[in-house]
Amino acid sequence: MTAARKTLGVSKAATPKGDARASFNVTGARLETLKERAREMRRHPTDAQKALWAELSGSRLGGVRFMRQSVVGSTIVDFACPSRWIVVSLSPEGANPEVDALQDKKLTDVGIRVLRFSEADVLGDTDAVVKAINAEVNQPFDKRAARRAQAANTPAPTFADAEEGAEG
């Protein structure tokens, strides 16, 4: 018996909410479900996640600490650096770009910088991905200014060279 695979889609009729922070945080059963799913993802990482975690774990990237498969708001991100307000997400082959864009927007709307890479990029050139992450980690960032810029519909500070986009 094979299990049916669920896929996510984006409704074209969805209207943006007024306050991004209101829909960002989750509690109760939904939060517990996300935490359990993140634990399961840490137990069974993809090859790209293993390769990138080998470079990011143990504060190897300039002494900055990353966590893997971490619950951030209402999403699970592959890697998070809370001290720098940065998340790194990996897109597997065949991922829905609309869902990725929606997730990235939810994070940037609350002032989190998002770096998104394809798993193929990570496996093909891990050093270039780590270099892009390191450059963003070392770039000054004002979370409040980023939030104000999003509210005014102007681009927030992002890493131009990055493909738009836990400790276990």
Contact 48, 75 (CB under 8 A): no
Q: What single-letter amino acid sits at 91?
A: S
Q: With bands split at pLDDT 50, 70 and 90, how would you rate the model's confidence at 62?
A: confident
Tell me if 158 is assigned to some domain.
no
Rounded Cα distance between 103 and 68, Å, is 17
Tell me if 4 is assigned to some domain.
no
Q: With bands split at pLDDT 50, 70 and 90, how would you rate the model's confidence at 59?
A: confident
pTM of this structure: 0.70
Query: Domain holding 75: CATH number?
Result: 3.40.960.10
Range of the domain at 91: 46-151
| Res. 17: pLDDT tops 90 | no
Tell me if 89 is assigned to some domain.
yes
